[in-house]
């Protein structure tokens, strides 16, 4: 086994990550892309290190990552840098008391004698405890992969081959119905690096016929370039706020996350499907293209496809997806805008259900991002929740991020904390009462004063969120029990079932 090519399959904050084992590295290293994908919390303190080729690199530190190897989980810190791949350094090997067995190509963890088989670029990785289990699991995985690959091959027209390999549905068009006079704005000023990025983006969008240049338009909106915090990747956005103010609301319901999660009943197999750049697969109505016009120092352009930022875009796309998946919705598939979950009781059912969904997408001329899809799993992540046969629970990395939040120092930070916690309110009994002193601090007339009660309730909310809570799905055949309670400060109710 070539130790320079020694990799194992791990999980970081529950997400699968293939990592290079490097005994020459003092610390674990993850790429900015991995840091964003696993929801790593990056410290503000930067560290400068020297690489083997003598170059120096300024990094951040991803703190408190839950690293799982061979079924064992430990908490580690990792440096974030522009590396070719993710690396397990000596700090990880020491944490797991792990040793490299070159003869059997395994990374052995002494505590429970578990091992992760290493692999090269051409090999697969298997987590094992003995040779019999390796063989059985390998056969199961190979069979499952073969079935998925067959389905994907049969519906290959639904698979995007690259970021700009987009479908173009004919089922809906994006319209912008407005009242009032046309809106015209001047371009915003941009820094040199953002101008260079904008120019490149415009060239790509023109080449793919997603936008077209215009000589004159009665409408124009400015461009803003958004930079992601961890990866520093930039994204072109158009500021349509003034257009949205004049846009008539499209009345179409967007499902709530709770309603969707409650429908996934008695399922054991799950798949999640992501529509690649979904909005860009919806054409603009010819009569309404002018209202998407955006102005830059490089010229004026309008969109041929539905852009991000329009107030009715989510409703338009939800309406499209509800129509496309109507034969499967509420039976074995659910959709929230561009995120789809497929759920089934048996493996055979799931295979059939996946085939139906892929064909429906193919027939609608919509394409998916395979890299962001997961197929035939017993556990998946969907809309910020962990979904299994037993029920739903909050994501570990999201809980860790809330747990590590320091006490707020102003009303804005209190609002940010309340917003994050409120997303997981169903897991937190008495949240309304506990949050009351925190919400009082966000009132316009309130003077910010973080007292002992605020700190106590703040700590209690984080403590309760840290508890291992799984919400079971309702069984509509069994009777429900309603528990209610009230006080001078709040009231609440819990809907429950016996043995659920």
Q: Is the pLDDT of residue 480 over 50?
A: yes
Q: Are 339 and 382 in contact (CB under 8 A)?
A: yes
Q: Is the pLDDT of residue 103 over 70?
A: no
What's the mean pLDDT in 313-330? 95
Report domain extents, the chain: 7-109, 147-388, 393-496
Q: Is the pLDDT of residue 280 over 50?
A: yes
* E-state strands within 196-352: 211-214, 221-227, 234-238, 269-274, 294-296, 299-303, 333-336, 339-344
Q: Which is more confidently placed, 108 or 362?
A: 362
Cα separation of the two ends of the chain: 49
Q: What is the architecture, at CATH level 2, of domain 7-109?
A: Beta Barrel (2.40)
Q: How many CA atoms lie within 13 A of 70 on its CB side?
A: 25
Q: Of 408, 402, 404, 454, whose CA–CA distance to 424 is shortest?
A: 402
pLDDT given at position 120: 43
Confidence label for 229 from pLDDT (cuts 50, 70 and 90): low
The predicted model scores a pTM of: 0.69
Separation of alpha carbons 256 and 63, rounded Å: 32
Separation of alpha carbons 240 and 202, rounded Å: 18
Q: Could you read off the pLDDT of 396-441 as tens digits, one per residue?
A: 778 888 888 888 899 899 998 888 888 888 888 778 888 888 988 8
pLDDT given at position 488: 72
Q: Is the pLDDT of residue 140 over 80?
A: no
**Cβ-proximal residues to 199 (8 Å cutoff; 6+ apart), any chain:** 298
Q: Are 27 and 78 in contact (CB under 8 A)?
A: yes
Confidence label for 342 from pLDDT (cuts 50, 70 and 90): very high
Q: Is the pLDDT of residue 118 over 70?
A: no
DSSP state of 323: H
Confidence label for 123 from pLDDT (cuts 50, 70 and 90): very low
Instruction: Output the six-digit token pair for 12.
Output: 């970081």
Separation of alpha carbons 446 and 440, rounded Å: 7
Q: Could you read off the pLDDT of 152-189 as tens digits, one per residue?
A: 888 889 999 888 899 999 999 999 999 989 999 999 99
Confidence label for 335 from pLDDT (cuts 50, 70 and 90): very high
Query: Matching CATH topology for 7-109 and 393-496?
Result: no
468-492: buried (b, 16+ CB within 10 Å) or exposed (e) per residue? Answer: ebebebeeeeeeeeeeeeeeeeeee
CA–CA distance from 81 to each of 6, 42, 88, 254, 341 (Å)? Answer: 20, 12, 13, 39, 33
Q: Is the pLDDT of residue 121 over 50?
A: no
pLDDT given at position 279: 95
Class of domain 393-496 as given by CATH? alpha beta
Confidence label for 51 from pLDDT (cuts 50, 70 and 90): low
Q: Of 194, 193, 213, whose CA–CA distance to 203 is shortest?
A: 213
The superfamily in CATH containing domain 147-388 is: Reverse transcriptase/Diguanylate cyclase domain (3.30.70.270)
């Amino acid at each position: 086994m070539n130790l320079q090519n020694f990799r194992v399959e791990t999980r970081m904050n529950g997400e699968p990550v293939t990592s290079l084992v490097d005994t020459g590295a003092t610390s674990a290293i993850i790429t900015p892309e991995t840091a964003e994908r696993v929801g790593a919390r990056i410290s503000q303190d930067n560290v400068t290190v020297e690489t083997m080729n003598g170059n120096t690199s300024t990094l951040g530190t991803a703190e408190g990552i839950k690293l799982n190897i061979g079924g064992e989980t430990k908490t580690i810190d990792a440096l974030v840098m522009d590396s070719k791949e993710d690396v397990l350094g000596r700090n990880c090997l020491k944490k797991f008391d792990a040793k490299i067995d070159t003869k059997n190509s395994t990374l052995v963890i002494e505590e429970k004698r578990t091992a992760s088989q290493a692999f090269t670029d051409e090999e697969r990785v298997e987590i094992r405890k003995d040779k019999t289990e390796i063989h059985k699991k390998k056969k199961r995985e190979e069979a499952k992969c073969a079935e998925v690959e067959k389905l994907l091959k049969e519906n290959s027209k639904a698979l995007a081959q690259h970021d700009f390999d987009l479908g173009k549905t004919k089922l809906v068009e994006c319209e912008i119905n407005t009242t009032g006079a046309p809106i015209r704005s001047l371009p915003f000023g941009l820094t040199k690096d953002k101008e260079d990025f904008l120019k490149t983006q415009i060239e790509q969008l023109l080449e793919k016929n997603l936008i077209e240049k215009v000589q004159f338009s009665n409408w124009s909106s400015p461009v803003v370039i958004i930079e992601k915090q961890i990866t520093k990747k930039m994204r072109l956005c158009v500021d349509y706020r003034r257009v949205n103010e004049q846009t008539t609301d499209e009345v179409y319901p967007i499902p709530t996350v709770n309603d969707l999660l409650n429908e996934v009943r008695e399922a054991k197999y799950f798949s999640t499907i992501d529509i690649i750049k979904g909005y860009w697969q919806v054409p603009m109505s010819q009569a309404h293209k002018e209202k998407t016009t955006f102005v830059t120092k490089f010229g004026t352009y309008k969109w041929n496809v539905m852009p991000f930022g329009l107030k009715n875009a989510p409703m338009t796309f939800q309406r499209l997806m509800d129509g496309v998946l109507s034969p499967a919705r509420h039976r074995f598939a659910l959709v929230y805008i561009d995120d789809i979950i497929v759920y089934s009781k048996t493996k055979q059912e799931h295979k059939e259900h996946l085939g139906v969904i892929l064909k429906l997408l193919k027939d609608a001329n919509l394409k998916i991002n395979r890299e962001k899809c997961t197929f035939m799993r017993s556990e998946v992540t969907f809309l910020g929740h962990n979904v299994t046969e037993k029920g739903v629970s909050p994501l570990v990395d999201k809980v860790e991020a809330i747990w590590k939040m320091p006490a707020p120092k102003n009303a804005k930070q209190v609002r940010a904390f309340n917003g994050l916690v409120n997303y997981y309110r169903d897991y937190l009994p008495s949240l309304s009462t506990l949050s009351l002193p925190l919400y009082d601090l966000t009132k316009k007339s309130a003077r910010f004063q973080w007292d002992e009660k605020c700190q106590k309730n703040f700590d209690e909310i984080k403590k309760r969120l840290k508890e291992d809570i799984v919400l079971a799905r309702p069984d509509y055949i069994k009777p429900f029990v309603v528990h209610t309670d009230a006080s001078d400060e709040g009231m609440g109710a819990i809907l429950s079932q016996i043995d659920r």
